[in-house]
Structure 1
Amino acid sequence: MTQALPKTKLVTFEEFVQWKPDGGRYELHDGVIVEMTQPTGPHENIIGFLALEISVDIKRLNLPYFIPKTALVKPPENEAGYSPDVLLINRSNLINEPFWEKQSTVSQSDSIPCVIEVVSTNWRTDYYTKRGMYEEIGIQEYWIVDYLALAGKSFIGNSKQPTISIYSLVEGEYQVSQFRGSDQIISTIFPELNLTAEQIFQAGNTTR
């Protein structure tokens, strides 16, 4: 669930990062500052699990990637700034990023191999808005982890099962592959990642 803060006017990205307090989690959506509500425990369990599994592969393969804590993603032609649940950054391109040094923000596809969003009640933002913006930036891979099957049937099917949708960039447009249950996750960024959809979903199960 997201809540727009009371503002009398739209703000630019520069105004947003100057205003943004240290506490809390905020995003900028088309000039509107949005406060992100505190995620649930299962939501955080999945984020932590994925960050750990991906970090192990980064280290094992000696890749120039890291996962920051609070960095933002800015679409180049939009007054927006997103705070993904898991953001993979290619440190070798940070020298070319105009917003990195002072604002810990990336905006170029060469800096962002992959973004992961774990779905909460604002699922439309993940499936509609962010998918379009991440495609526009040219991010190679975008994961949507819908562990509660919250999205509409047009996105995850009539059976409404927990689903991981991985959008891969092909000739400038996203093509989606979906994974459920015992399906092995297939990632172009991490082709050797040994995970099933169910393993990811079970990370959010605090009673396991």
Structure 2
Amino acid sequence: MKTYTKQKLTFEQFLEQCLESGLYELVDGEIVEVRVTRNHDDVADFTADSFKDEIKRLNLNYVVKNPAVFKTITANGIEQGRKPDVSVIDKDKWRSNRSAYAALEEPIQLAVEVTSTNWEDDYIDKLDEYQRLGITEYWIVDYLAIGLREYLGNPKVPAVFIFLPAVFIFLLDAEGKYQCTHFRGSERIVSRTFPELTLTAEQILTA
């Protein structure tokens, strides 16, 4: 991960200054390049394609973007610019202003992060920011099993969950807090957004 700016930027400044090529996020006021492996890309692409197939099969009112940028706010009030590896967005919301740039400030339906060396961003920082924004469903696809410690804060996940590849799905409850379920091996993924999805954890993790 390479940092390109020292000046603390707002989300709007990030959109103006961010390079068009490559994958960048706004983290703590700085433009940060996110670099991923081919394996990471394959897992993200397989997941996005699976969502697209389900949307087409059932004629669901969603679009899948890989990636789309939106604004989150940290507990300290800092604006962040996040780009999930896969974003599922309400089609009407996406098309409400089709001449606009891809940036969004409202919660999307589902965000997927495929873990890499900056796994703490996915398990701690983005988890808190996505919950705070109100993203209904959040997936962490940990195909490398690199979530090496117990989550902090709320919700807490027992240490037994770690060290093995898994798909973690966080769903907002009635109080706006994430509740987590994990899936491994031949276990069928259970998704609120795609309740008829027939994928297993293994299919995603070994894509």
- What does residue 91 of structure 1 align with? 91
- What does residue 127 of structure 2 align with? 131
Instruction: Trace 1:68-79 onto structure 2 (pairs within 5 A).
Output: 68-75=65-72, 78-79=78-79
Counting aligned pairs with the same residue, the percent is 40
- What does residue 165 of structure 2 align with? 162
Q: Distance in 2 between matches of 1:66 and 1:55?
A: 8
1:43 to 15, 40, 43: 40
Deviation, 1:186, is 0.6
1:178 aligns with 2:154: no
Deviation, 1:96, is 6.2
Q: Distance in 2 between matches of 1:152 and 1:48?
A: 25
Instruction: Trace 1:1-208 onto structure 2 (pairs within 5 A).
Output: 2-7=1-6, 9-37=7-35, 39-75=36-72, 78-94=78-94, 101-109=99-107, 112-155=108-151, 157-158=159-160, 160-171=163-174, 172-203=176-207
Q: Distance in 1 between matches of 2:95 and 2:129?
A: 23
Deviation, 1:101, is 4.3
CA contact under 8 A between 2:48 and 2:66: conserved in structure 1? Answer: no
Structure 1 range deviating more: 88-97 or 46-55: 88-97
Name the SS of the counterpart of 2:182 in structure 1: strand
Name the SS of the counterpart of 1:106 in structure 2: coil
Q: Which amino acid aligns with 2:20?
A: D
CA contact under 8 A between 2:54 and 2:197: conserved in structure 1? Answer: yes
Report the TM-score, using the length of structure 2 for normalisation.
Answer: 0.88
Once the two structures are superposed, residues 101-123 of structure 1 have per-residue CA deviations (whole angstroms, 9 ceiling, x without a partner) of 433112213xx110000000000
Name the SS of the counterpart of 1:92 in structure 2: helix
Q: Distance in 2 between matches of 1:170 and 1:35?
A: 33
Q: Which amino acid aligns with 1:160?
A: F
Q: After TM superposition, where is structure 1 displaced by more than 4 Å over at least 4 residues in a row?
A: none
Name the SS of the counterpart of 1:56 in structure 2: helix
Please, which runs of 5 or more residues in structure 2 have no aligned partner? 152-156
Q: Distance in 2 between matches of 1:101 and 1:137?
A: 24
Q: Structure 1 or 2: larger helix share?
A: 1
Once the two structures are superposed, residues 76-125 of structure 1 have per-residue CA deviations (whole angstroms, 9 ceiling, x without a partner) of 6642111110011112124667xx7433112213xx11000000000000
CA contact under 8 A between 2:167 and 2:205: conserved in structure 1? Answer: no
Name the SS of the counterpart of 1:75 in structure 2: strand
Deviation, 1:66, is 0.9
Once the two structures are superposed, residues 139-164 of structure 1 have per-residue CA deviations (whole angstroms, 9 ceiling, x without a partner) of 11000000010012425734611011
Structure 1 range deviating more: 116-125 or 47-56: 47-56
